Structure 1
Amino acid sequence: MSVTRSAGALGAARPLMRLVTMSGVPILRQLHLEERLLRRTADNWCVINDGTAPPTIVMGVSGRVSELVEIEPVLRDRVPVVRRYSGGGTVIVDQGTVFVTFICNKSAVAGLQPFPRDIMSWSGQLYDKVFDRFGEFHLRENDYAFSHHKFGGNAQSITKNRWVHHTSFLWDYDVKNMDYLKMPKRAPEYRLARNHTDFLCRMKEYMPSRSVFTDGIITALGEQFSVQPTDLETVLSNDEEFVPSTKLLSQQDLEEIVSSKGSSSLGVQEVEA
């Protein structure tokens, strides 16, 4: 009985988490939405986007294109390259990727300090509840992994009063797309210099369906938050003045890197307001 009363008391005090679920939204549009929710609202958000098109390379704010992307094949095949507003590494995403983003006020999680390691620890504990029946789940350095194989890459952005933790989950992936990415110079120790296909795994080999995955996230969130499905149109007013920092790199940007033979002119420093 005491446990029931305690759960009820906690439930009454749970902060609100607005839930937005989408399917197939282009990753550039998703990132613009996230940045707007981060900077123009005061609510906590969970954004889930099931798949994206077309296949797109997404880089962290401080990544150097020449070090991370095979530029000539990307130009040849016209693969979009996006520089997002958050830190973290480089990924290629497509219909096989499931995106989950948490956008929270600093006070949203009791006792959580707004630092990268603390946020990763919190998220790892939350996802442990999602995956505990499906595989040997680990938070390995800054990745989500089944045993020693990565299936989730993370990035974060921390502002004065709020933070973002977003993940690209590999439900499935096209091996050919990995050829557009270079082996990063900085890699987690547990990678052990493995190539992409030896290092990664597919979630579909561990879980029965995408809906089981997303339902698990919502259930786990419900233990800490009052989760409220939200229609964005009822929340966001027109905000034509908002200019996101996430950008699609132009063909000219990429061609200039090729012509300068690896110039680092597109490398930028990560700065948060």
Structure 2
Amino acid sequence: MTFGSVIERNVARPLMRLVTMGGAPILQQLHLEERLLRRTSDNWCIVNDGTAPPTIVMGVSGKVSELVDIRPVLQDHVPVVRRFSGGGTVIVDQGTVFVTFICNKTAVGGLQPFPRDIMSWTGQLYGKVFRGFGEFHLRENDYAFDHRKFGGNAQSITKDRWVHHTSFLWDYDVKNMSYLKNPQRAPEYRQARDHTDFLCRMNEYVPSRSVFTEGITAALGDHFTVQHTELETALSDHDDFVPSTKVLSPQDLQDIISSKEPPTAQRGEGWPR
């Protein structure tokens, strides 16, 4: 039995507000997501097609010195963002497509608000999206075609709501991957492969970005009444919100090189991999 099948057909589907953006900076996207998670009671899906400039994004508990090659990052002026959720470290750019679900705990029938349950449900949903486009798998906490990863995930769970966000590699620049170190905690299926052997590009399997985003809307329609919502509506009445997602300054990074990295945030809401 899949999640949501316990909902009787005569019960109205909950509303899912869909916001689409093209090329929004990842910092703006993460600030929006955190605001919607903490200041609204609606269900949201945020789709952002690409971002600029190339940016490293870390989970709330990630240790910079273990995950980022800091000297070339400083030399090339690559921004480093520490987001509000858990999960791993990624570098994102115009070739990345972002999809985020922000939901009330009662939004999906039968879904318990725990990391593995949420991951199972999103894996089922994306299984519909990628049907016919390759051997899609939920491998540990990643989305993969066969044994190669193309989607990394992070989550945050609050008292009444949860967020699950994914960075999908429609394409990627091999050079950008060199800014990241191989994590000490890696999924077993990675088998010590470097980034280029471990990752694949979605454009090798899916005809177009629009096919992908249309598939998301269709799959959401099995669980929700999907309503397209303008970004301005999503931003309204929350101008006083102060997000926890921050950009690390060059001085922060210099201090880390000097072995002055402060203690990482306590693990709680997030789900580090």
Q: 1:266 to 1:76 in 2, by over 3 A?
A: farther
| 1:269 counterpart residue number | 266
Distance 2:210 2:151 in 1: 17
Residue 118 of structure 1 is matched in structure 2 by: 117
How far off its partner does 1:239 sit? 2.7
Tell me which stretches of 4 or more aligned residues in structure 1 moved more than 6 Å.
Answer: none
Residue type of the alignment partner of 1:169: F
SS in 2 for 1:165: strand
CA deviations on 1:102-152 (whole Å, 9 max, x unpaired) are 000000000100000000000000000011110000000000000000000
Q: Which residue of 1 aligns with 2:74?
A: 75
Tell me how far apart the structure 2 counterparts of residues 234 and 217 of structure 1 sit (CA, whole Å).
21
Q: Report deviation, 1:232.
A: 2.9
Q: Match of 2:186?
A: 187
Map 1:1-273 to 2 at 5 A.
Answer: 10=9, 13-260=12-259, 263-272=260-269
Larger Rg: 1
SS in 2 for 1:54: coil
How far apart, CA to CA, are the structure 1 residues paired with 2:133 and 2:234? 36
Secondary structure of the 1:95 match is: coil
TM-score by length of 2: 0.94
Shift of 1:12: 5.0
Question: Can you list the C-alpha shifts for 1:13-38, whole angstroms capped at 9, x where unaligned?
Answer: 11000000000000000000000000
Question: d(CA) in 1 for partners of 2:130 and 2:191?
Answer: 24
> 1:96 offset after TM fit, Å?
0.2
Q: In the TM superposition, what is the alpha-carbon distance from 1:10 to its structure 2 partner?
A: 2.5
Q: Distance in 1 between matches of 2:235 and 2:50?
A: 23
Instruction: Measure how far apart 1:270 and its partner are.
Output: 2.6
Cα distance in structure 1, aligned partners of 2:138 and 2:119: 8
User: Would you say the 8 A contact 2:32–2:235 is kept in 1?
Assistant: no
What TM-score, normalized to structure 1? 0.94
For 1:204, give the aligned amino acid.
N
Asked whether the 8 Å contact 1:11–1:226 carries over to 2, the reply is: no
Unaligned runs of 5+ in 2: none
Relative to structure 1, the CA distance from residue 73 to residue 266 in structure 2 (aligned partners, 3 Å threshold; closer, same or farther) is farther
Residue type matched to 2:98 in 1? F
CA distance in 1 between counterparts of 2:57 and 2:233 reads 29
Q: What number of residue pairs does the alignment pair up?
A: 265
User: Which is richer in helix?
Assistant: 1
CA contact (8 A) 2:43 2:104 kept: yes
Q: Distance in 2 between matches of 1:268 and 1:163?
A: 19
Does the Cα contact within 8 Å between 1:82 and 1:249 map onto a contact in 2? yes
Q: CA RMSD in A?
A: 1.6
Work out the CA distance in 2 between the residues paired with 1:156 and 1:190.
Answer: 21
CA shift, 1:234, in A, is: 2.9
The answer on whether the counterparts of 1:65 and 1:266 sit within 8 Å (CA) in structure 2 is no
Q: Distance in 2 between matches of 1:66 and 1:235?
A: 36
